[in-house]
Structures are given as C-alpha cells and as structure tokens.
Amino acid sequence: MADPRYKRIVLKLSGEALAGEQGYGIDPNVIQSIAVQLKEVIEMDVQVAIVVGGGNIWRGMAGSAKGMDRATADYMGMLATVMNSLALQDALETEGVPSRVQTSIEMRQVAEPYIRRRAIRHLEKGRVVIFASGTGNPYFSTDTTAALRAAEIEADVILMAKNKVDGVYSADPSQDPDAVKYESLTYLDVLNQGLGVMDSTASSLCMDNDIPLIVFNIEGTGNIRRVIQGEPIGTLVRGNV
C-alpha cells in the first residue's frame, strides 16, 4: 500500500452524504460504510478530524427563508450536526476506531467542549475527532467550520466528500451534459466564477491560510484512502497556481 501523502486531514461530510438515497435522516448503511473507510485510513497512521453538516435533519437557511429568526434557525442546525456526529461516532466505535466528539456549544453529557490542544492530542493518539455544532455561532456554515478547524489544528488538507458528484464542474453535470470537470482550480477561480464549492467565507479562509481542498465522491469503495494516497480522483483547489 502506497504511503499517505497527507498525515493530518479534515474530512468535511455534508448531512446529505449521511442520508444516502432516502435524502433525509441518517442511513445506517451509508454511515457504516464511511466508518469502514475511515478505519482503513486510521490504520495508515493518518490523523483524521471530521466536520459534519446537518442538512439531512435541518437547514438553518431553509428555516430562515420561511420566516424563522435566522439565529434561532442556525442554532437548530448546529444541534442537527451533533446528532449526526454522535451517529458517526457510534459507527466508528463499532468498527473499533476510537473517537471523540467535540462541540462548540457545551453539552458535557454527550460530548467534550471544543478545546484546540485537546483535539490535537486526541489526533496524536490515533483518535478520530469529530467537530460538531459548527463554529458555535449563527451565520457561519459548516464549510467555514471545516476551514477554521483545519487552520487551527494545522491540517495538511481538507477533503470535501460528495455523494452525487466526483469533483468540481463548470455547471451542474446532472442538468448540463456539456459540463466540464476541473482537475485543479485556485480559490480565486472558485470565488470569481461562483462555482459553489464552498461559501465565500470558507474559500477566503482557506486561501488566506494556504489550505488545499480536494472535492471527491465518497461513494466509491476506498475513495478516502485513494485521495490520501494522492490519486487524482477529484478536483484539487489550491491557494496558488
């Protein structure tokens, strides 16, 4: 097995990725397959941190659009990410992978509070660290959380896992047959072309801190391992050409 190109990663999982074909809630088969892939990566001595979204349970923007107070809607979304994180932790523990959930909103009965040095120590001990409840602040997405946590723990790369697309395209490939897949991009390309890889706050944070991003399809067997070993199966987004 090839040596890993990256030694410390942040894996960004959308809530939709956990829902599978049903489109909502948590699909046990999907979450277990992700845990199996992560076990394979941990056995390569790669340090893994995860940021989980909550869109499979609740989307703050959707609630806000229907008249709900934006801050309240976003806090509800943060709680949804905690539910997903606990489900992922359970799947990892079933596979024998030690893990810790750290939340930006304190709820000590179910998870640790986020403490940067403690998170790094867990990673150094071979534990998967799952960052839940976003940044703890409304108006910030889990994409921004992934960028922020990657900068804080000095991760080598952010892996953005998708479940319906295998990279970044010039248009939606499900609607435009002429859409072109990009092999590599810069963050300025993403911002200037409005490609929607991640929100502008997250993109700017990654660009400013020179954190590379790889967008790939998580559905293929062993895809997380393949990306970590450097196989070109997605789209690489960098700060500089």
Q: Which residues are annotated as a binding site for UMP?
A: 54, 74, 135-142
Q: Which residues define the annotated binding site for ATP?
A: 12-15, 55, 59, 163, 169, 172
Those residues whose C-beta lies under 8 Å from the C-beta of residue 36, and which sit 6 or more positions away, are 95
Take residue 73 and report the two structure tokens written for it.
């809607």
The residue written with tokens 């789209």 in the block is 235
Terminal Cα-to-Cα distance of the chain (whole angstroms): 30
Take residue 137 and report the two structure tokens written for it.
């602040």
Which of 182, 208, 192, 146 lies closest to 14, judged by CA? 146
Q: Which residues define the annotated binding site?
A: 12-15, 54-55, 59, 74, 135-142, 163, 169, 172
Pairwise CA distance, residues 142 & 165, whole Å: 19
